[in-house]
Amino acid sequence: MRSVQCHQCMEEGAFRGLFIQTFSATKPFMTANFIAAFLFGVWHIVMPLRSYVNGEMSFAAMVLMSVGYIILAGIMGIKWGLLYRMTGNLWVGLGDHLFNNTVATNMLHVVSSTGADELQIVRIMAAQLISFAFVLAIYICRNRKSCVQIEEIEEK
């Protein structure tokens, strides 16, 4: 469990803390968030690559899973970046990341007759899309309220 916690701390610190801060110095937040999220997605292709190297999946399945992980981890990275932007700290995203990796990924892991969990990405994708939609709705709502408040101040 401690290695899982350290792993999330490293990822949040690097991808949301360091990369978003670094890219935000020269780019708008959303651009910086998308770049960090893409890099976070690429970081995660090691899982299907490992399964391919170990003979647990075919090359075609590895490529498909790699694309899926880039998209999935990218969506999760965008969500955690939005949480970082809304709260001003990494703790909320870190908590969600820990919950995802502990519950959605590890506790719901199923091994098939081939040794690989072919449907793991589907379960995680469904949970993350629902979670992403929720966080995005809150982010949009907060930004609209900010815009309305700015307009009211400008009118006075």
Strand residue runs (E) in 11-152: none
Upper half-sphere CA count for residue 32 (Cβ side, 13 Å) = 20
* Whole-number Å distance between alpha carbons of 110 and 112: 6
* Whole-number Å distance between alpha carbons of 37 and 33: 6
pLDDT at residue 63, as a whole number: 94
Percent of the chain, pLDDT > 70? 76
Read off the pLDDT band of 96 (50, 70, 90): confident
What are the pLDDT digits (tens) for 66-80?
A: 998 899 889 989 999
The answer to whether 97 and 81 have CB atoms below 8 angstroms apart is no
CA nearest to 93, candidates 13, 4, 1, 3:
13
Is pTM beyond 0.95? Reply is no
Q: Does residue 135 have a pLDDT over 80?
A: yes
pLDDT at residue 18, as a whole number: 85
Give 131's contacts (C-beta < 8 A, 6+ positions apart).
79, 96
The answer to whether 69 and 47 have CB atoms below 8 angstroms apart is yes
pLDDT at residue 58, as a whole number: 92
